[in-house]
């Protein structure tokens, strides 16, 4: 709900260690449910609603659009879905999901909660999205002035981004509770990084806890227009929450190795990697590709990769370089 106002391992050992680098703690693609029925009625263990298991607040499982067939979660009207994360207070986590806002709707919304307690909840941040007229303050609404914008609201400030309606885009939240930092990425672009423990609209108040993610039928107009009653309409797919684990392999930040483009669509290029061993992992630690002896300028196909966050491990016999990249199609 929106808030009012050095390497000594053989390849096998290397892969086994790295496969533990991320542990998926929640993976929801909505594909095992019946389309046309509420999510809550089919899974009330992983999901609840703002008011506590109220069917009227449930999102609906639909089969179009879906980023990964056959299903996605549809949020509109009174939908107010909660996935509880159990009050996490330490560690490094990645939250990834795909998002779709139809041009015919009013926009979308989601938040992360420091503490979930219904109306007494404590927000970590909110994200509002929707169409916005640059001429609104002058009273006009010309098509050339209309933009599709999103806004992360946190602490006592905010960060703006833009999105394309009627298309899927990827959202990645990199939350390091040990360093008290969050970085928000939309469609492969870093939008903002800030102190995670802050509480919006407060001063000198903090809370180091990650308790829930909330998909509510809100929109940008709720923030920009006083007493707005508009509801958001959007779809969510492929929600993955993973814990990033530290492993006992020395890693090197070697900035001479470059990876591009990032985000990638069909290929990823790794420069200055001659004779290195390159392994690509997805967020769950699954090996997606392995290059035994790379060229100086190595090309790797990601055409069959799903949207999401991936990691490159580049081993040259003396060190391991880790690079993160995203696939966005």
pLDDT, position 12: 30
- At 63, which helix (H) or strand (E)? none
Q: Which of 206-215, 237-246, 297-306, 315-324 has the lowest mean pLDDT?
A: 315-324
Cα(224)–Cα(221) distance, integer angstroms: 5
pLDDT digits (tens, 9 = 90+) for 220-239: 999 999 999 999 999 999 99
Cα(26)–Cα(45) distance, integer angstroms: 12
Q: Which of 8-22, 41-55, 138-152, 157-171 has the lowest mean pLDDT?
A: 8-22
Please give the share of the chain, as a percent, with pLDDT higher than 90: 67
Cα(180)–Cα(91) distance, integer angstroms: 10
Q: In whole numbers, what is the pLDDT of the chain averaged over residues?
A: 86
Mean pLDDT value across residues 261-268: 94
| pLDDT band with cut points at 50, 70 and 90 for residue 317 | low
Residue 10 has pLDDT above 70, yes or no: no
Residue 74 has pLDDT above 50, yes or no: yes
pLDDT digits (tens, 9 = 90+) for 45-62: 999 999 999 999 999 999
pLDDT, position 20: 38
pLDDT digits (tens, 9 = 90+) for 126-154: 999 999 886 554 444 455 578 999 999 99
In this prediction the pTM is: 0.77
Q: Which domains does the chain have, with CATH numbers?
A: 22-244 (2.60.120.200), 251-327 (2.60.40.3080)
Judge contact between 18 and 312, C-beta under 8 A: no
Q: φ, ψ for residue 41 (rounded to 5)?
A: -70, -15
pLDDT, position 14: 34
Cis peptide, bond prior to residue 70, ω within 30 of zero: yes
pLDDT, position 16: 33
Which of the given ranges, 121-130, 195-204, 290-299, has the highest pLDDT on average?
121-130
Query: Tokens 């703006």 identify what position?
Result: 160
Residue 162 has pLDDT above 80, yes or no: yes
pLDDT, position 4: 44
| pLDDT band with cut points at 50, 70 and 90 for residue 176 | very high
Residue 7 has pLDDT above 80, yes or no: no
Chain centroid to CA 186:
8
Judge contact between 202 and 124, C-beta under 8 A: no
- At 12, which helix (H) or strand (E)? helix 11-18
pLDDT digits (tens, 9 = 90+) for 207-216: 999 999 999 9
Q: Of 316, 310, 320, whose CA–CA distance to 294 is shortest? A: 316
320-327: strand order across its sheet: 251-252, 320-327, 308-315, 277-282, 287-291
Q: No. of H helices and E strands in the chain?
A: 2, 23
Cα(79)–Cα(207) distance, integer angstroms: 27
């Amino acid at each position: 709900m929106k808030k009012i106002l050095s390497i000594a391992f053989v390849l096998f050992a290397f892969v086994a260690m790295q496969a533990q680098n991320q542990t998926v703690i929640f993976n929801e693609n909505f594909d095992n449910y019946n389309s046309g029925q509420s999510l809550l009625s089919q899974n009330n263990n992983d999901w609840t609603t703002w008011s506590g298991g109220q069917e009227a607040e449930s999102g609906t499982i639909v089969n179009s659009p879906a980023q990964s067939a056959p299903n996605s979660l549809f949020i509109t009207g009174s939908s107010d879905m909660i996935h509880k994360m159990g009050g996490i207070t330490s560690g490094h986590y990645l939250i990834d999901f795909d998002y779709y806002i139809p041009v015919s709707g009013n926009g979308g919304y989601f938040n992360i909660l420091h503490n979930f307690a219904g109306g007494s909840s404590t927000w970590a941040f909110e994200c509002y999205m929707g169409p916005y007229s640059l001429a609104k303050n002058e009273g006009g609404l010309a098509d050339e002035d209309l933009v599709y914008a999103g806004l992360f609201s946190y602490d006592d400030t905010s960060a703006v981004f833009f999105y394309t309606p009627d298309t899927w885009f990827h959202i990645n939240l990199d939350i390091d509770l040990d360093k008290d930092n969050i970085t928000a990425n939309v469609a492969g672009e870093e939008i903002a990084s800030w102190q995670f423990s802050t509480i919006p609209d407060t001063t000198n108040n903090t809370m180091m806890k990650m308790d829930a993610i909330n998909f509510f039928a809100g929109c940008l107009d709720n923030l920009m227009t006083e007493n707005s009653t508009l509801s958001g309409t959007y779809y969510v797919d492929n929600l993955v929450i993973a814990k990033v684990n530290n492993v006992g392999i020395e890693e090197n930040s070697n900035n001479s190795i470059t990876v591009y483009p990032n985000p990638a669509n069909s290929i990823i290029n790794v420069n200055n990697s001659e004779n290195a061993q390159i392994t690509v992992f997805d967020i769950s630690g699954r090996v997606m590709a392995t290059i035994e002896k790379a060229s100086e300028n190595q090309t790797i196909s990601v055409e069959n990769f799903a949207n999401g966050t991936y990691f490159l491990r580049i081993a040259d016999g003396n060190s391991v370089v880790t690079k993160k990249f995203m696939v966005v199609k």
